[in-house]
Amino acid sequence: MISTALIRAAEGDYVANPLIPHPWEMAAAFIGFFVLLFVVVKFVAPKFEATYQERVAAIEGGISEAEEAKAEAESLKAEYEKNLADSRAEASHIREEARAEAAQIVAEAQEKAAAESARIREQAQAQIEAERASAAAQLKADVGTLATQLAGRIVGEALEDDARSQRVVDRFLADLDAEQNRAGATQ
Amino acid sequence: MRGPALLTLALRAADGGEFQPPSINDTHLPEILPWGVEWGEGFLGKNGLVLLVSVVIIWAFFSFAIRKQSLVPTRTQFIGESIYAFVRNSLGRDILGEKHFKPWIPFLFAVFTFILVNNLMGAIPVIQMPSFSHAGPAYVMAAIVYCTWIGVGIQKHGLRYFKLVTIPSGVPWYVMPVMIPLEIISNFIVRPLTHSLRVMAVMLAGHMIVMIAAAGSEFLVTQQDNIFLNATGIIVLIGFVPLYFLELLLMVLQAFVFALLTAIYLQGAIEADSH
Q: pLDDT digit string (tens) for B208-222?
A: 888 888 888 888 888
Considering only A42-51, A149-158, B69-78, which range has the smallest mean pLDDT? Answer: A149-158
Task: Measure CB to CB from residue A49 to each of B30, B105, B204 and give the nearest one.
Answer: B105
Question: Is pLDDT of B26 > 80?
Answer: no
| Cβ atoms of residues B115 and B235 within 8 Å | no
Question: Is pLDDT of B9 > 60?
Answer: no
Which of B2, B15, B25 best probes binding to A when mutated, by most A CB atoms within 10 angstroms? B25
Residue B247 within a domain? yes
Q: State how far residue B17 is from chain A, nearest Cα, in angstroms.
A: 16
Average pLDDT, chain B: 83
Summarize the confidence of residues B14-28 as an average pLDDT.
66
- Model pTM? 0.67
Residues 109-168 of chain A with CB under 8 A from chain B are: none
Most confident of A6-10, A20-24, A172-176, B114-118: B114-118
CA nearest to B143 within chain A: A30
Contact A3 B42 (CB under 8 A): yes
Residue B26 within a domain? no
Summarize the confidence of residues B47-52 as an average pLDDT.
84
Burial B76-102 (b: 16+ CB within 10 A, else e): ebeebbebbeebbeebbbebbeeebbe
What per-residue confidence (pLDDT) applies to B37? 54
Residue B30 within a domain? no
Which of A2, A15, A36 best probes binding to B when mutated, by most B CB atoms within 10 angstroms? A36
| Cβ atoms of residues A3 and B80 within 8 Å | no
Question: Is pLDDT of A146 > 50?
Answer: yes
Summarize the confidence of residues A160-180 as an average pLDDT.
78
Contacts of B198 in chain A (CB under 8 A): none
Q: In chain A, count of helices (H) and strands (E)?
A: 4, 0
| Cβ atoms of residues B267 and B108 within 8 Å | no
- Give residue-wise pLDDT tens across range B119-163: 998 888 888 888 888 888 899 999 999 999 999 999 988 888 888
Q: Percent of chain B having pLDDT more than 70?
A: 86
In sequence order, what are the residues at sequence separation of 6 or more whose Cβ sits closer than 8 angstroms to the Cβ of residue B243?
B209, B213
Angle at B47 between CA A36 and CA B32, to 5 degrees: 115
* Interchain CB contact of A57 with B (< 8 Å): no
Summarize the confidence of residues B227-240 as an average pLDDT.
85
Contact A33 B110 (CB under 8 A): yes
Does the interface predicted TM-score (ipTM) exceed 0.85?
A: no
Q: Which of B88, B198, B94 is nearest to A48 (CA)?
A: B88
- Give residue-wise pLDDT tens across range B167-180: 887 888 888 888 88
What per-residue confidence (pLDDT) applies to B42? 58
What per-residue confidence (pLDDT) applies to A15? 58
Number of Cβ within 10 Å of residue B39's Cβ equals 10
Question: Is pLDDT of B268 > 50?
Answer: yes
Residue B255 within a domain? yes
Contact A44 B66 (CB under 8 A): yes
Residue B182 within a domain? yes
Q: State how far residue B96 is from chain A, nearest Cα, in angstroms.
A: 17
What per-residue confidence (pLDDT) applies to A116? 93
Question: Is pLDDT of B68 > 50?
Answer: yes
Contacts of B36 in chain A (CB under 8 A): 24
Q: How confident is the model at residue A179 (pLDDT cuts 50, 70, 90)?
A: confident
Contact A28 B139 (CB under 8 A): no
- Give residue-wise pLDDT tens across range A105-141: 999 999 999 999 999 999 999 999 999 888 888 888 7
DSSP string, B137-200: HHHHHHHHHHHHHHHHHHHHHTTHHHHHHHS-TT--GGGHHHHHHHHHIIIIIIHHHHHHHHHH
- The SS3 call for residue B44 is strand
What per-residue confidence (pLDDT) applies to B113? 94
Q: In chain B, count of helices (H) and strands (E)?
A: 10, 0
Residue B100 within a domain? yes
* Interchain CB contact of A32 with B (< 8 Å): yes
CA nearest to A2 within chain B: B30
Q: At what angle do helices A23-39 and B135-157 cross, to 10 degrees?
A: 50
Question: Is pLDDT of B63 > 50?
Answer: yes
Task: Measure CB to CB from residue A19 to each of B30, B59, B135 and give the nearest one.
Answer: B135
What per-residue confidence (pLDDT) applies to B13? 47
What per-residue confidence (pLDDT) applies to B11? 47
Contacts of A51 in chain B (CB under 8 A): 66, 69-71, 81
What DSSP character marks residue B87? I
Amino acid at A25: E
| Cβ atoms of residues B87 and B112 within 8 Å | yes
Task: Measure CB to CB from residue A21 to each of B42, B45, B136 and give the nearest one.
Answer: B136
Q: State how far residue B267 is from chain A, nearest Cα, in angstroms.
A: 19
- Give residue-wise pLDDT tens across range A67-112: 999 999 999 999 999 999 999 999 999 999 999 999 999 999 999 9
Contact A26 B40 (CB under 8 A): no
Task: Measure CB to CB from residue B81 to each of A1, A19, A51 and give the nearest one.
Answer: A51
Widest CA span in chain A? 201
* Interchain CB contact of A47 with B (< 8 Å): yes
Q: How confident is the model at residue B6 (pLDDT cuts 50, 70, 90)?
A: very low
Summarize the confidence of residues B92-102 as an average pLDDT.
89
Q: Which domain holds residue B129?
A: 41-274
Question: Is pLDDT of B32 > 70?
Answer: no
Question: Is pLDDT of A13 > 60?
Answer: no
Task: Provide the CB-side half-sphere exposure for B130 (13 A, CA).
Answer: 30
Domains contained in chain B, number? 1
Contact A51 B40 (CB under 8 A): no
Question: Is pLDDT of A64 > 80?
Answer: yes
Residue B252 within a domain? yes
Summarize the confidence of residues A155-179 as an average pLDDT.
75
Question: Is pLDDT of B96 > 70?
Answer: yes
| Cβ atoms of residues B219 and B233 within 8 Å | yes
Widest CA span in chain B? 73
Question: Is pLDDT of A20 > 50?
Answer: yes
| Cβ atoms of residues B138 and B251 within 8 Å | no
Which neighbouring-strand residues pair with B33?
B44
Residue B25 within a domain? no
* Interchain CB contact of A80 with B (< 8 Å): no
Nearest-angstrom CA–CA distance, A1 and A45: 41
